[in-house]
Structure 1
Amino acid sequence: MPSSDLMLEGLTLMVFGMGFVFTFLTLLVLATKTMSATVLRFSPVEDLSLLTPPLNMVSPSQQVANDAHLMAVLSAAVHRYRQDRS
């Protein structure tokens, strides 16, 4: 079998494979959107504040930075680790 036939067969297989994957993923997205719309239609969200987090919410890193005892423990651990390494 000449190499040009093998290349053509490989390209054909690649096109069919990518076509099937693209079709499957498109159908998956459409099915997900349809199910989401169906669920929202039959069971709508009454309170939209449940969907969005409040603006004054403190992130976990800010909570750690505000805790003096925890910062002292973390600083001591880092200091000890650096001493042991050298």
Structure 2
Amino acid sequence: MQQDLLTQGFELLLYGMGTVVIFLCLLVLATAAMSKTIERFFPEATVPAAKPPAPRAAPAADDAELVAVITAAIRQHRQRG
């Protein structure tokens, strides 16, 4: 009785796991087939490479002002704590 129940359990396990593995394999194959079909009928458009914009040189006055603002912020932060 015990051996028969254990055998039935293993058979059920094999059938269940086999069904899941087969389903997943079919799902992978179907997804790959759909992907190839989409690529065949709707190819990806090629976009010409655009030139990157030329970097702008910042005026020296802006740099000096920025340094002054950052220095004042650091000084104020150090005075608080």
The two structures have a TM-score, normalised by structure 1, of: 0.52
Structure number with the bigger relative contact order (C-alpha 8 A, sep ≥ 6) is 1
What's the offset of the Cα at 1:48? 7.0
**Counterpart secondary structure, 1:46:** coil
Map 1:1-86 onto structure 2 (within 5 A). 2-47=1-46
CA RMSD, Structure 1 to Structure 2 (Å)? 1.7
CA distance in 1 between partners of 2:3 and 2:19 (Å)? 24
**For structure 1, which runs of at least 5 residues remain unmatched after alignment?**
50-86
Hey, which bits of structure 1, 4+ residues long, moved more than 3 A?
none
- Partner Cα distance (1:46, 1:12) in 2: 52
Q: Larger radius of gyration, structure 1 or 2?
A: 2
TM-score under structure 2 normalisation?
A: 0.56
Number of residues of Structure 1 aligned to a counterpart in Structure 2: 48
